[in-house]
Structure 1
Amino acid sequence: MDTGNNSTVTEFILAGLTDWPVLQIPLLLLFLSIYVVTVVGNLGMITMIGITSHLHTPMYYLLSSLSFIDLCHSTVIIPKMLVNFVSEKNVISYNECMTQLYFFLIFVIAECHMLAAMAYDCYVAICRPLLYNVIMSHQVCLWLVGGVCMMGLVGATTHTSCMLRVVFCKDHVINDYFCDLNPLLELSCSSTYVNEVMVVCLSAFNILTPILTILSSYIFIINSILHIRSTEGRSKAFSTCSSHMAAVGFFFGSGAFMYLQPSSVSSMEQGKVSSVFYSILVPMLNPLIYSLRNKDVKVAVKKFMERRTFW
């Protein structure tokens, strides 16, 4: 990606989460622990799905893709954040900042659409069980994952291209712990009208379109569950999608709070809390949610641990 600089600013300073020196080391240890759990959890989920034959289904193929997105998503943000906790001056160059913004947007947009693809998979599994293997074929899964990646690339390229046109000339302190759209636009000394329109339009598309897809899927899912007569059947159908419902609530709730508020209502401090949730905590929570609430994954983990103990 060409990161041409139209600004007089060659580097930014990241304000971070707090100005209090006494909190730097505790926060370093906290977020280092979160990152380790995130990496182990998501790599473990990818490995478990890869080596367990009965998990080689469309649902777990999409879950594996979500884990890969979460792993990359957190890796774009947290390592630089950890370095900044022990640095005297949290400097990031213009090119590094634009690169971080670009890859962050790829993975956050991809996660929005991946959750929608997983909702569609749940819909097919519960509402069209006899046709599941036909509708969710291997080729369809590949197309879904490819479409998710394409959405991420198009959205990130559009936003970053618009950001490269923005001129930064004086203030270079980003009031955040990474290079995100809104904190960068706050520093502009040129018109940001086009950027703000793109943020609202693309954020609405990348948040509201998946949400509508998810809501539509779950309306049909709930309707089908209510028509299941046996309690056991209802419980099994609900457990199939309960993990996904929790992941959707965490991710889209914090994302919508960050990007869909008018600038007059939102504040950078509120934005920091929200972005910590969806960019750092959600990638850690997703593998925990799916492993603790999914019987197939728990069985796979148990068998894997038994094999390791036997060896």
Structure 2
Amino acid sequence: MNAVPARMRSYHVDSGAGIDGLTLREHPVPVPGPGQVLVAVRAVSPSYRDLLVLGGRYVLPVRPDVVPVAEGAGEVVALGPGVGTVRLGDRVMATLFPSWQDGPFGPQHLPQLGGTLDGLLTEYALLDEHGLVPVPAHLSCAEAATLPCVAVTAWNALTGDGGLRPGQTVVTQGSGGVSLFALQLARALGARVVATTGGPAKAARLTALGADLVVDRRAEPDWSAAVRAATGGTGADRVVDVVGRLDESVRAVTLGGHVAMVGFLSETAPPIDARGLFASGAVLRPVAVGSRAQFRELCQVVEEHRIRPVIDRVFPFERAADAFRHHASGAAFGKVVIELVPD
């Protein structure tokens, strides 16, 4: 472990300034206070949430001149007074909502990295010891950087309502981070996975990742009918909806099925047919990341099943803006990573 320097570099941005508003500045390395840990950030991974922050469209408050990005991993290099849960040299990941330890989310947990709190697009981050989770032993920091937001969201979507059971059918949508983690985790939990996508090249990659069936939306625009046909007419037990076309997801689930609403890709999602929703008996549950306890559960499964995140491309710290642009293009299959220090 190298000595901590006196100065560091961080990216800063105002919400709404866009990717071009990212500015790299140098300033002193902070000293951890009681209960705080200084982490040398090794890698971060932008998510759709971070694009919303930069675009001024995030639903939660964002402070001016914030250090963006909530997903990252690094090494503990300094401890504040009273810290007892981590040690120097530990590899750790940060939780998006540091105070959300367990149980339901509430307004008391709103402070969040890359929003009202500085995030991880920085060489050194000052973090609360109780907002950290150990990196699974088999993962590099670049791989671990992809877990805190999208993988936890996928885990919550699959298990946060009581849990996915072996033999059930899950539908995932597309090839973004949440969907690929949902595919991998659902398979690890013994579920059957039907993945939707938009073309044969991605279909082949989804099959290689373990999807039992891939529905190409270009060839079969009515993908919900294809899901019902593949399940003998009953429908899937669960849909992890990252698109926001909830009317289609409701048609794809079985009677009393579960639709985890992770997000939507357009500013105006289509309306839901109340009559159809009532008739389906489906449960609609908005999902926004998860607690630290859920993060730790996720990591146990990731480690037990040796799951490795799907990384599309790695950019150096100095090209952070290019990493955001690549992520925003929608061309990535899996996660985009910004690496500060290779493992």
Larger strand percent = 2
TM-score (normalizing by structure 1): 0.28
Whose Rg is larger? 1
Larger helix percent = 1
TM-score (normalizing by structure 2): 0.26
